[in-house]
Amino acid sequence: MRVLLADERAKVRSAVRLLLEEQTDMDVLGEAMDATGLLDWISATCPDVVLLDWELPGAEAANLVSDIRSGCSGVRVVALSGLPEARHQALRAGADGFVSKGDPPERLLQAIRGCGLTARLEGAQDADGPEVLGLARGEAEGLFIG
């Protein structure tokens, strides 16, 4: 899974990058510290998943989700925030998942993998449905991370 990191804090980006680089199923395409840099990376790489700091400078986060999808229609967005109460706003704005920065690392990995699986399921449903991935119909619905 191809992942793009967007957070203004270098320490956060570095910690997340280290975590993701330990995963055999994830590749970090790049890092952005503001909305402009993020949108540049989106147009250049079209990642599978964007980890979006909900307080990323340079744009209103709620609008940024649609801007991200304008640059790459199939991308999944996992919003990250140190404010757990931002969850509802992020999901209403169209984020596919939300992880609090205080959550354990496993929660972040689960959210990323859940978004990647959801994308593959949608592609499989266009063909033969979730059974293509070895899932019974209905099981896929329980995979949404939010």
Domain residue ranges in the chain: 2-103
pLDDT of residue 145: 44
Higher pLDDT, 127 or 83: 83
pLDDT of residue 115: 86
pLDDT of residue 140: 38
Which has the closest alpha carbon to 101: 124, 131, 123, 80? 80
- Look at domain 2-103 and name its CATH class: alpha beta
**pLDDT band at residue 118, thresholds of 50, 70 and 90?**
low
Lowest mean pLDDT among 10-14, 83-87, 129-133: 129-133
**pLDDT band at residue 62, thresholds of 50, 70 and 90?**
confident
**pLDDT band at residue 144, thresholds of 50, 70 and 90?**
very low
